[in-house]
Chains A and B, each alone.
Chain A
Amino acid sequence: MHRFSQPSESLCRKILSPVSFKERLPAGRLKPPVGIIPGDVRSLAELRLFLEPDNASLPGIDLKRLPDWIEASIGDGELAASVRTIVDQSVNYVEDCLKVYEVVGVRLDQARKTTREAE
């Protein structure tokens, strides 16, 4: 299980909030024989849903660009660093996507729990 430091309430809000349309991250899906279906994600929750393992399709995302997006658009430097490490130590694209899926899930759970406790 990946561990992050405790995020502040304001960071939790960022982690759980969508970004503006202009800050969206392109994200397609390869689904043979349909082809590549264009799309995008606008939040970490959407990113996690997008990366959820699926037997009939593959998510399409620029993993090298992803850490910068998480840092600049979401505002979570710690998660960005974690994703950057996964990309730097790449096993293969699919394995990397699965690892990113896991760490994003851990961070989202942490942010949701913190937000609930604060309420």
Chain B
Amino acid sequence: MQRYGLNSFVLQPGLHWLEHLYEDVVLGPGRQIPSDLPWESIGTLDFAEKIVHALSTRTDIGADLADGWVQAALKWGREEDLHTGALQFSYWGVPEHGYDPRAELEWGYGSLMGDRDTNTHCFNYIFTNVSAAFAFGKPLRISAEEMVKLHAKKMSPYAKDRPEVLDYSDANMYSEAVAQIVRWQQHYCRFYKNSALYCDLKWPDFVNTNVPGFEGATASPDAGEHVFWNAVTGDTLSFEDGIEIGRRIWNLDNAIWVLQGRHRDMVHFAPYIYETVYNKGEVFPFFMWTCRDDDGKWYYKDLMGRSMDKAKFEEWKTIFYQLEGWDTKTGWPKRSTLEKMDMGFVADALQAAGRLGEEDS
């Protein structure tokens, strides 16, 4: 795979889809989607080598798949597979990562408001650690309430001391609070991870069970991200300064996407996210996360068994665009927002392209 220069991740859900097409007598020799690959031996090394070769050389079905799997599905008349979930490519034509948007909100929402699978593991250890503890029947060392408070303590500037940003319950999943955690993650990562290259799995360090009080290093005055940055560069950056740099990068990214044609009307998950339920036991028996119950009490809840409401998600997008200072009708950046970040040149470029967001009247 490495020598062929292919991204193997796409094959993880992609091969299941191709197997589905083969078993449904749609794909294969002489079938609606013709292919002479040895489908009867799918799962073997021989098959793997042949399909990788086909993808790399644009031969057999590789001629279509090389242009994108979702594009191939549409070309083959298999749009229904994006509705049923047979083809689990959740956003922007890329596969679901293993943290389904119907459960892990910051991952799904952040991917969609960005341009690809976000692949930023800021919060998702909550799922893995808590779910593993439940699987083993182990008592959790940190209660849900303590967990969210520890996080909120460090989520300056948008969510400082606002633990509700980690409430992924049905009642809170389209809220302004969840928009704030998505913003925080994107801005944080644009600088600290994607630019300063801090380890994606180590940082942010919200919780440390090896120290009294369980408080991690993130944003702390003695061992926070900015401390390392300043020690190496000689800067006098604050933690929040880093987030603000990330916000500027994020805005520049969005401006580039807008110049490439992005509009809020195209910012949608694949239909199966709205039309099907994330089944309990579909691929793992539970997806544990922090939530509040009707009385406001925090607990770890299994988020399997729900889908996303498209209309409510559209409302959430509006909230997100408002918080970012983007035009809520188009998702395009506004001049006032860009100029406050000393990015008037970006506004000029967008205006020249006829893609500058409208100011509020």
How many pairs of residues, A versus B, come closer than 8 Å at their CB atoms? 77
Q: Are A91 and B284 in contact (CB under 8 A)?
A: no
Residues of B within 8 A of A27 (CB): 283
Q: Which of A32, A34, A38, A65 contacts B281 (CB 8 A)?
A: A65
Query: A92-B135, A94-B136 in contact; A36/B283 too (CB < 8 A)?
Result: yes
Q: Could you mark each residue 5-37 of chain A with 1 if its beta carbon is under 8 Å from any beta carbon of chain B, else 0?
A: 000000000000000111000111010111111
Whether A62 contacts B285 in the complex (CB less than 8 A), given A38-B88, A92-B136, comes out as: yes
Cα separation A114 to B97 with both chains bound (whole Å): 43
The answer to whether B12 touches A61 (Cβ under 8 A) is: no
List B residues 3-28 near A (Cβ within 8 Å). Answer: 12-13, 16, 19-20, 23
Q: How far is the CB of B287 from chain A (nearest CB, A)?
A: 8
Q: Does A113 contact B (CB under 8 A)?
A: no
Contact of B128 among A30, A91, A92 (CB under 8 A): A30
User: Residues of B at under 8 Å CB distance from A?
Assistant: 12-13, 16, 19-20, 23, 88, 97-100, 121, 124-125, 128, 131-132, 134-137, 201, 279-285
Measured in the bound complex, the distance between the Cα atoms of B121 and A39 in whole Å is 23
B19 and A61 form a contact (CB under 8 A): no
Chain B residue numbers with a CB within 8 Å of A67 are: none
A63→B88 CA distance, assembly (Å): 23
**In the complex the two chains form, is B283's CB within 8 Å of A26's CB?**
yes
- Which of the four size classes fits the interface of chain A? 20 to 34
What is the distance, in angstroms, from A107's C-beta to the closest C-beta of chain B? Answer: 22
The residues of A with any CB-CB pair to B shorter than 8 Å are 20-22, 26-28, 30, 32-40, 58, 60-65, 91-95
Of all chain A residues, the one with the shortest Cβ separation from B287 is: A36
Q: Which residues of the partner chain A approach B134 to less than 8 Å between Cβ atoms? A: 93
Chain B interface mostly helix, strand, loop or mixed?
loop
The distance in angstroms between the C-alpha atoms of A37 and B12, with both chains bound, is: 7
Q: A22-B23, A30-B128, A58-B132 are in contact. Are A93 and B285 (CB under 8 A)?
A: yes
The interface centre, meaning the residue of B13, B136, B284 with most chain A CB atoms within 10 A of its CB, is: B284
Q: Which of B131, B201, B281 contacts A62 (CB 8 A)?
A: B281
List of B residues within 8 angstroms of A93 by Cβ: 134-137, 285
CA distance A62 to B283 in the complex (A): 8
Distance between Cα atoms of A39 and B12 in the complex (Å)? 9
Residue contact A94 to B137, C-beta cutoff 8 Å: yes
Q: Residues of B contacting A62 with CB < 8 Å?
A: 280-282, 285
Q: Contact between A60 and B285 (Cβ–Cβ < 8 Å)?
A: yes
